[in-house]
């Protein structure tokens, strides 16, 4: 199976089989039969894509309640550090984070279940980030956690002076002060 389990239940790394030759490469980035064979019943309803430059950090974001989203994330160009935080209150790994380098060259993808905050930092000169969601975005259900929260202790693989944040991401609450209705 192309799915690797992580230390956080339900969080999976998807490594598709890549066929390469002198012309380039080919792989299936998503096939519902492959996911269903692994016991994953997902109905993706929205695709999103973002392009960013070095140092841009987006996150940590989530959708709460009825609008929570599972995501299948990958990088089409460049390299990012992808980070998730388990926000499921009944989880053994509540409050724990997981990070992975996703890049156009390694073709890895991260399957993020509902109930996680998600973010990424661009490590290459530019990166194009793509993700599928199993639920539609709803502005009233969005939430976030400050990327630099000391209780999470996330190493973003960037010098602090190189990090570029949106105004919204600069004022997110800390982990102890967020209140998602997951």
Count how many Cα atoms sit within 13 Å of the Cα of residue 24 in the half-sphere of its side chain: 3
Q: Which residues are part of the catalytic machinery?
A: 61, 131
As a whole number of angstroms, the longest Cα–Cα distance in the chain is 53
CA distance 110 to 3: 9
CA distance 16 to 54: 26
3-state secondary structure of 55: coil
Please give the sequence-ordered ranges of beta strands (E in DSSP) within the chain, or none if there are none: 3-5, 12-14, 19-21, 24-26, 46-53, 57-63, 71-77, 79-86, 97-103, 109-112, 116-122, 126-133, 142-144
Token pair 């299948």 is found at: 72
């Amino acid at each position: 199976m192309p799915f690797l389990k992580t230390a956080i239940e339900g969080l999976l790394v998807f490594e598709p089989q890549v066929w390469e030759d002198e012309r380039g490469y080919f792989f299936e980035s998503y096939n519902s039969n492959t996911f269903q064979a692994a016991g994953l019943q997902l109905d993706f309803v929205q695709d999103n894509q973002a392009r960013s430059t070095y140092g841009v950090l987006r996150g940590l974001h989530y959708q709460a309640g009825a609008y929570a989203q599972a995501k299948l994330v990958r990088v089409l160009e460049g390299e990012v550090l992808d980070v998730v935080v388990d926000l499921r209150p009944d989880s053994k790994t509540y409050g724990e984070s997981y990070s992975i380098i996703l890049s156009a060259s390694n073709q890895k993808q991260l399957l993020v279940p509902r109930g996680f905050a998600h973010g990424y930092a661009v490590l290459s000169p530019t990166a194009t980030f793509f993700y599928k969601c199993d639920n539609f975005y709803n502005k009233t259900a969005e939430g976030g956690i400050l990327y630099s929260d000391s209780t999470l202790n996330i190493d973003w693989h960037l010098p602090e002076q190189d990090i570029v944040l949106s105004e919204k991401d600069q004022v997110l609450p800390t982990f102890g002060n967020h209140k998602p209705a997951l």
